[in-house]
Structure 1
């Protein structure tokens, strides 16, 4: 018997009554609502209100909302360069009240005996200081300060004293330590005879904003991908706990977070050990011109777009737009990269022209809850694919069986009524969806895993159907190991 939602069962007046409704038996993939979030730090000059969500559609919105030279401006611009189409929001926190700003210096010494251009670098920005014969250290420093302070989008302000240019981060907190400083870094940059320049890296920035202030605001919001600029232990602890809760069956707000780290091999190893989360992916570099928060936002932009298109496909070889490779001497060896991957730090490849491409994006998950080494959640495709399958299956069941009754497989009602579902019928629906997931390249071995899956009514609650649903997430070609044998 057909079950109607709109036609009364006892209607007597003659006529043709037709109820129109969709049939979901052969539906394709449920549209996946990829939605990214940039958690940023803002300056007082921005028009945005702290702890308020803003929908981002243009790359210059960050500057207006969060201030010129802010972390927020950089992250919005970086994400939009990497991803022009995905739905993205931003929410900001101001500097912590007790925070300390990082400082660094360019120290000029001597007097120029030749003319040229002194090339200073703050992050990826090149500041060219014209030098003529006879220019003193104090004069060069004064010129450098004027040039630096004229660029409103830089993350620092400058002041000169006795040939020393002191740079102070516009933001207070640890983010300032991630601002790269360099002199004559690129091929073709000249070194001025008689005038030496010494660089002291940005340091001493301390105390980040409290991430919990943002987590409270977005507690009920759906975001699939989140980038943030802070990587201290306290922040990462809060982040890992939040993402674990979101991924639980009762959470239903799956999200992957992206971080950028700046440091030596040892420093990145320490950072990777701070969390053990399947839902955090961090990428690190030593002395990169790009700030860590720019790495995070760029990676988030690429991953949001690509993994929404295909959650099971690796991101290898994809470029990170406008991310400049670290100097050759500061790039990690293959052995170091292999160890970083095992320690929860994703890796990249530097091409000859300075372009940076993704090598392998892993999560920070390394050991089971009992401390046993475990690679179950190694690659980002694992949580992303599992999340996508779960979202699609949950949506399909909600559409297919919205008001159905539940009966045993041998129930007469199941044979006579179309508004009755049984464990066997649900098992059949799972088999149908798994065939689609396999065709789409999300899973493999569907015939075996469907056979291993079980559906049964709960012994204590006749309104509940319990299931064990097995899948094998498809692999990716990461390593080709071969023995090349020559015959003699």
Structure 2
């Protein structure tokens, strides 16, 4: 084989020892995967973030500066950083839509306390203690409640009292306000002084979210592996699904996965799951949780971004969603409902002792093929994540190993004698070596079989092109153990 050099001229005549130094990548390990998260948030006027600008986030409190106290963005940054402190994360934020409508809810005080005592109000996870006195009027109780709520600037609502009724208004305009939970005397030990009652009307009426297309356009050329959104309306979900499908294509090469939280009863979540059929969107749904949907999404994104960067093929079951408060047991979905929700594209969770939330199964919203046939090929988040990881590593490895290679057919004189030549057989050998590495990491299995079904061939009409078909079997996960326990009599 005749050798060629990158730095030494072929006709150099001056005597001396000239040696190029360059790496050989034949035995290189896995390419470092650049996991990057983007938090797409909604900001208040007090936030300094400029639409379309990406801000690196290192501390939880930065969400307040960029998005304002009591904002969706501040909540999302805090929830994400509670779950993940190491993955590189950025923030971009949009202001409320100009035509947006803020959600409202009410607390209505009725009666007169016969004795003094404590009353606990709740806005999301925050407990707001209120000291009532015997004989206090409904107007006085409502005024005190509104003052206590307004004193907490981190809350996502403001309060106004009138005639015994506290009207709570979301700080943000848009549908996000509908996800804010309100409660009275929610936990064990909370009391309501005798003689009075408080009626809660849930937050509702929020309408018109910001247009996510602004963000999608701004990050069109940016690499992000995990992106969390606060909006679950049909218009924005459709745009995310279409954009992420393009990002994942061979010519897009900017693989990303979207995380979204949704709140509602079983039928509401089934409706949400039906909006998209995307392998690149995971929606986690909860009924009755004190934690807002955007916090669920941010926490899930934090866990997934860290764990799936470490091992894209390993399920997320049993991992804790830090800072997320589970619904009461009566509001948790039963097993049969969870099973149906998974089939409808909604990820599920479990409530364990003390109200801790653990992941049950993270699925995508993909349910049917392009021919509308039921299909589970892309059901679990590990499938697109593992395929993305292998594609990224293989592309990096091949580029580093054959950066300036010539292309020749197998068994040609050029293949046998010329330097810096790649052939279909050599490419297949490289693919086999990488598959062995992937299998050792537990990402795929049966690589000896799939490599035999992989193909590399020179293009018939373009001498500069090598075509390939790369077969893999992504490893499964131990999710269901079915058995028959038989006893002898």
Q: CA deviation at 1:327?
A: 1.2
Partner of 1:172: 173
Provide the secondary structure at the position in 1 that maps to 2:191: coil
Provide the secondary structure at the position in 1 that maps to 2:209: coil
Partner of 1:330: 331
Provide the secondary structure at the position in 2 that maps to 1:390: helix
Q: CA deviation at 1:51?
A: 2.1
Q: CA deviation at 1:345?
A: 0.2
CA distance in 1: counterparts of 2:186 and 2:282, whole angstroms: 29
Q: CA deviation at 1:2?
A: 2.2
Partner of 1:475: 476
Partner of 1:376: 377
Partner of 2:488: 487
The superposition leaves residues 352-401 of structure 1 with CA deviations (integer Å, 9 ceiling, x where unpaired) of: 21100000000000000111000000100000000000000000011000
Partner of 1:5: 6
Q: TM-score with structure 2 length normalisation?
A: 0.99
CA distance in 2: counterparts of 1:407 and 1:100, whole angstroms: 64
Partner of 1:352: 353
CA distance in 2: counterparts of 1:370 and 1:383, whole angstroms: 20
Matches within 5 A, 1:22-421: 22-421=23-422
Q: CA deviation at 1:480?
A: 0.2
CA distance in 2: counterparts of 1:76 and 1:342, whole angstroms: 30
Partner of 2:449: 448
CA distance in 2: counterparts of 1:377 and 1:114, whole angstroms: 60
CA distance in 2: counterparts of 1:305 and 1:417, whole angstroms: 45
Provide the secondary structure at the position in 1 that maps to 2:110: strand
CA distance in 1: counterparts of 2:80 and 2:429, whole angstroms: 42
CA distance in 1: counterparts of 2:31 and 2:4, whole angstroms: 25
Q: CA deviation at 1:414?
A: 1.4
CA distance in 1: counterparts of 2:419 and 2:476, whole angstroms: 39
**More displaced stretch, 441-450 vs 40-49:** 40-49
Moved over 4 A (4+): none
Provide the secondary structure at the position in 1 that maps to 2:354: coil
Q: CA deviation at 1:136?
A: 2.0
CA distance in 2: counterparts of 1:265 and 1:279, whole angstroms: 22
CA distance in 1: counterparts of 2:292 and 2:4, whole angstroms: 60
Q: CA deviation at 1:263?
A: 0.1
Provide the secondary structure at the position in 2 that maps to 1:127: strand
Segments of 5+ residues of structure 1 without an aligned counterpart are none
The superposition leaves residues 88-123 of structure 1 with CA deviations (integer Å, 9 ceiling, x where unpaired) of: 011011000011000001111111112221111111
Q: CA deviation at 1:69?
A: 0.4
Q: CA deviation at 1:351?
A: 0.4
**CA RMSD for the aligned pairs?**
0.7
Q: CA deviation at 1:49?
A: 1.5
Q: TM-score with structure 1 length normalisation?
A: 0.99
Q: CA deviation at 1:20?
A: 0.5
CA distance in 2: counterparts of 1:294 and 1:418, whole angstroms: 56
CA distance in 2: counterparts of 1:415 and 1:154, whole angstroms: 72
CA distance in 2: counterparts of 1:257 and 1:449, whole angstroms: 30
Q: CA deviation at 1:50?
A: 2.1
Q: CA deviation at 1:225?
A: 0.2
Q: CA deviation at 1:416?
A: 1.7
Partner of 1:431: 432
The superposition leaves residues 153-174 of structure 1 with CA deviations (integer Å, 9 ceiling, x where unpaired) of: 1000000011100000000000
The superposition leaves residues 46-71 of structure 1 with CA deviations (integer Å, 9 ceiling, x where unpaired) of: 12212211111110000011100000
